Amino acid sequence: MKKMKAVLALILVTALCAALFAACSAKKPAGETGSEAQQNASQQTAVEENNAAEENTAIEENNAAEENSAAEENPAVEENSADEADADPFIGEFAGEDGNTLEIGLTENATHSVRLNIPRLTTFDDGEGNMSDGGLSFLVTDPNGEPLYGMINLDEEDPGQNALILVITDSKWSLLPNDTEFRFVRAIPKSEQTGTAGSRIPLKDNYPEAEKQIIAAVEQYLLDALAGKIDDVEVTVDKIYSAEDEDAIDALKEMELGMNEVAFSVNYKLHPAEGVEDLMQFTAANGEIDEESGWIINKSNIGILRPNPDGEGYIITDFGTGF
């Protein structure tokens, strides 16, 4: 009997173990071991990370495309100063009644130079103007040494931007009281101006452009004139002669320089080409040898800048002639 009970107990324990094993197996996917489950989890994580990376890349590419499209629709404008001068309706020569004249140019500081000539009364040739909401405001010095202020605006009745209205706004000079008004008409209509290097603004009225063209033309002139003797040159503009200067210098006055022709003085230095031993030839008129750098420095000269007859750029004439 005892033996029978032991057998029954063994059978019961075996059945219970089998039931527990079956329950554990039901909780785990068929055919998946512990290592396989870990591997699948790792693969799932990798897939999710890869999908996230692809989404981020797509977003970045889309943003870059939108930025490029916006840049193409709104391109940056280079060399704005030349374009602004070209579009400036105030720059030029203007004539009024009774022989009055008004000349407005662009200075090296991007301000406006103003010259007002009123025959039999006076000439203001020291004017400096600045753009404001009200127009082109300017300051000159009256014959008594006092400041005199004025404002220049486009004539609203002239759609071609060829007429200006000048009004004296603050004057202590009795011969030119406040609210005195002048009307000027452009000497050469904008539609007929050829200007410089594609610009409608005459070179004489555009200091920055004149300076740039003088430097380029003088450098080329010297490299051509001293070909084989120098291999480099550096030029700086010392002075660009104004219309008033031209009137005061007989030689220039006789030349009757046009609006796209300017007289100038420059400072420059030369670098002798390799093998050139006679450096004194470069100092015949002026200049000195810089022993440390090898350059010929402190050179200066004057000349005339004129439009190239071939129609491209400018050339130098009368260089070093003393006018």
Q: Please tell me which of 10-14, 31-35, 117-121, 301-305 the model is most confident about, judged by mean pLDDT.
A: 301-305
Instruction: Look at residues 137, 110, 142 and name the one whose alpha carbon lies nearest to residue 126.
Output: 142
Instruction: Look at residues 307, 308, 107, 105 and name the one whose alpha carbon lies nearest to residue 201.
Output: 105
Question: Are 87 and 150 in a shared domain?
Answer: yes
- Let me know: does 126 contact 105? Beta carbons within 8 Å: no
Lowest mean pLDDT among 23-32, 48-57, 209-218: 23-32
Domain end residue (candidates: 127, 159, 192): 192
- With cut-offs at 50, 70 and 90, classify the pLDDT of residue 15: low
**So what's the pLDDT on residue 50?**
57
Q: How far apart are CA 279 and CA 285, in angstroms?
A: 13
pTM to 2 decimals? 0.50
- With cut-offs at 50, 70 and 90, classify the pLDDT of residue 192: low
Question: Are 180 and 208 in a shared domain?
Answer: no
162 in any annotated domain: yes
Question: Are 207 and 186 in a shared domain?
Answer: no
Q: What is the largest CA-CA distance in the chain?
A: 154
146 in any annotated domain: yes
| Percentages (nearest 5) of helix, strand, coil residues in the chain | 35, 30, 30
95 in any annotated domain: yes
> What's the number of domains the chain is made of?
2
| Domain extent at residue 180 | 83-192
Q: What is the CATH number of the domain that holds 154?
A: 2.40.128
| Range 142-147 average pLDDT | 95
**So what's the pLDDT on residue 19?**
52
Q: How far apart are CA 176 and CA 144, in angstroms?
A: 12
* 78/123: higher pLDDT: 123
Domain end residue (candidates: 146, 165, 192): 192
Coil, helix or strand for 155? coil
Q: Residue 278 above 90 pLDDT? A: yes
Query: In this structure, how many other beta carbons lie within 10 angstroms of the beta carbon of residue 67?
Result: 10
* 155/197: higher pLDDT: 155
Q: What is the pLDDT of residues 43-64, one digit of tens each?
A: 555 545 555 555 555 555 555 5
292 in any annotated domain: yes
**So what's the pLDDT on residue 92?**
86
Question: Are 188 and 210 in a shared domain?
Answer: no
Question: Are 187 and 209 in a shared domain?
Answer: no
Phi first, then psi: give them for residue 283, nearest 5 degrees. -115, 15
178 in any annotated domain: yes
Q: How far apart are CA 100 and CA 183, in angstroms?
A: 9
Question: Are 214 and 169 in a shared domain?
Answer: no
**So what's the pLDDT on residue 142?**
95
Coil, helix or strand for 145? coil
Query: In this structure, how many other beta carbons lie within 10 angstroms of the beta carbon of residue 308?
Result: 10
Question: Any idea which residue has 């209509």 for tokens?
Answer: 189
Question: Are 168 and 262 in a shared domain?
Answer: no
Question: Are 97 and 127 in a shared domain?
Answer: yes
Question: Any idea which residue has 């470069």 for tokens?
Answer: 282
Q: What is the pLDDT of residues 158-189, one digit of tens each?
A: 877 789 999 999 999 999 999 999 999 887 65
27 in any annotated domain: no
Question: Are 260 and 286 in a shared domain?
Answer: yes
Question: Are 215 and 291 in a shared domain?
Answer: yes
Question: Are 219 and 148 in a shared domain?
Answer: no
Question: Are 102 and 130 in a shared domain?
Answer: yes
271 in any annotated domain: yes
43 in any annotated domain: no
Average pLDDT, the chain: 78
What is the percent of the chain with per-residue pLDDT over 70, rounded to a whole number?
68
